[in-house]
Amino acid sequence: MRRLLALLAFLLWPTVLFAANCTVTGKVYNPDGSPLANGTVNFNSLVQQTLQGGATVPPTQITTTTGTDGTMAPITIVQGLQGQFVFCSPSSGGCGNPTPVLIPVAATADISSILIGIQLSSGGNVVASSLNVTGNSSLGGTLTVTGATTLGNLTATGPTAVGPLTVTGNSILNGTISVSGAATVGALTAGATTMPSLTLTQTTGTAITFSQGSIVSCCSVFDMAAGAHYNGSSWVADQTTASMVQLGSGALNVDIATGLTVGNTFAFTPYLTLTTTYLNGEFDYNGTSILQVANNNGGTAAIPLVRAANGTHVADLAMPGTAYSTGSCCLFAADRAYLSSNGANGLLIESTGAGANANLWLTAPNGNQVIIGYGSHFDFARNGTASPTVSSCGSGATIAPYATDNAGWVQTGTSTSTCVLTFGAGWTVGNPACSCTSAQNTWCSGATNGSQFSMAFGTPLANQVIMYQCLGAQ
């Protein structure tokens, strides 16, 4: 009888002997994400199983331990075997619920990759060194992934809360994440990450909030902010200064808020606005506002330049560099500001203010000259202002139709020794310096005030031309 039993045992033994084994390693974690330190890992296949290929494996129980960092001592289990793991933690004083597993057909496996049938409720934590999700998934608690990560489709159709998601390895989101309900996403920290598509379809507004910033989409407006986050209805300061770029509503805004109190709500202030009709910069503070185009290069062709163009001609405001020499012509020189227009109707510099001192000023306050280059004409035009008039200049006296307060001619009437020119606009700052010349060989002198130029002649003149010129003197 003993020989028969021994023979039967020998005949049955090869079915187990030739089943390949899988070595299981890895780290084990508690539900709160901490390592299962100095714990035990128990595997139990529960029943005898016949594997593919005909190998029969009796009920198997294997126990191993974990170190202080949760790393388990390797265990060897037959490939293809089904069973369950039970994890016991001495610090918590007990063991968790059995977790179903299927041992893979592989020489080695990480314990986190073979746990199956896990379902997390809101607030649950999952810690894994490798996570592969190829179907639809719902995550309610904290997900920490320390290895390579592949996520397929992640769909949330109702109110969804995703807590901190930390990926310290390379991760690939190769499916589509669609959130059609109200969604709150906590911190997302990732290594090398590829995500081809992220669709947020909440029509009343969507916000992705970071520790000190937010991306908000609502009501045809898209905001990206730093130094503040959006709480669903207001901006909340995370720093004393915050900035935002806003797209939508037919405009692009760059907003900045200063003097904030961390934790308080506030409203952004537009500093720069771009629309289809204008670019506006507004900097309301007690200091100098500067719109700058800088070129600090020391080369011979360096020019910072602002240009206005109408498709045919241009107007330029430039400041050639201190070493500029390329293409220099005439008065265009290094370190000399340049204002020009090649428009067919010239360049107009106009002062349109209504105040008494709303003059057009050309000044060189360092004592240098104001120069009209190339010997060109310096002309005066009334451009709709009042014309000067004459009186006490003999009956029938006339004045040139193009005369201005600066220059012109007067033709006396009947014989007279005087003539008074009343300015059309007059001088509001000081009295002008005026001179006059008679076409006859006689002297002409005069006195001025801000309103008149009174002329006197050496001999009486009748129907004679008197030319005058007046320049402001201060």
Cα 351 to Cα 348: distance, rounded to the nearest angstrom: 10
pLDDT tens across 257-291, in order?
999 999 999 999 888 999 989 889 888 888 898 88
314 and 341 Cβ atoms separated by less than 8 Å: yes
Tell me the per-residue pLDDT of 141-178, one tens digit each, with 9 for 90 and over. Answer: 455 555 555 555 455 444 444 444 554 444 444 444 55
Asked whether residue 329 carries a pLDDT value surpassing 80, the answer given is: no
Q: What is the CATH number of domain 12-114?
A: 2.60.40.1120
Q: Return d(Cα 358, Cα 342) in angstroms, integer.
A: 27
- The confidence band for 44, taking pLDDT boundaries of 50, 70 and 90, is very high
Predicted TM-score (pTM) of the model is 0.53
- Kindly tell me if the per-residue pLDDT of 312 is higher than 60: yes
Whether the per-residue pLDDT at 122 is higher than 80: the answer is: no
| Confidence bin at 40 (pLDDT 50/70/90) | very high
Counting beta carbons within 10 angstroms of the beta carbon of residue 230, is it exposed (0 to 12), middle (13 to 18) or buried (19 or more)? buried
Residue 412 pLDDT more than 60?
A: yes
Backbone angles phi, psi at 371, to 5 degrees: -115, 135
Per-residue b or e along 166-198, where b marks 16 or more CB atoms closer than 10 Å to that residue's CB: bbebebebebebbbeeebebeeeebeeeeeeee
Distance CA(279)–CA(274), nearest Å, equals: 5
pLDDT reading at 184 higher than 50: no
Model confidence at 468, pLDDT cuts 50, 70, 90, reads very high
Residue 215 predicted with pLDDT over 60: yes
Average confidence (pLDDT) over 215-236: 85
Q: What is the pLDDT of residue 187?
A: 44
Rounded Cα gap, residues 104 and 125, in angstroms = 24
pLDDT-based confidence at residue 15 (cuts at 50, 70, 90): very low
pLDDT value at residue 157: 44
| Highest-scoring range by mean pLDDT, 13-17, 278-282, 314-318 | 314-318
Asked if residue 301 has pLDDT above 60, the reply is yes
Could you tell me the strand order of the sheet in which 279-281 lies?
A: 206-210, 213-218, 221-226, 242-248, 251-257, 269-274, 279-281
Structure tokens at 147: 């290895």
pLDDT category at 116 given cuts 50, 70, 90 is low
Instruction: List pLDDT tens digits, range 441-455.
Output: 889 999 999 999 999
Q: What does the chain come to in residues? A: 474
pLDDT band of 435, cuts 50, 70, 90: very high
Helix or strand or coil: residue 47? Answer: coil
Q: What pLDDT, in 10s, does the model give residues 334-359?
A: 999 999 999 999 998 888 888 877 87
Give Cα 144 to chain centroid, integer Å: 31
What φ, ψ does residue 95 adopt, rounded to 5°? -120, 155
Under the banding of pLDDT at 50, 70 and 90, the label for residue 430 is confident
Domain ranges for the chain, please list them. 12-114, 125-281, 292-345, 389-471
Average pLDDT, the chain: 79
Predicted confidence (pLDDT) at residue 256 exceeds the cutoff of 50: yes
pLDDT at residue 93 in the model? 74
**Two tokens, residue 90:** 């001495």
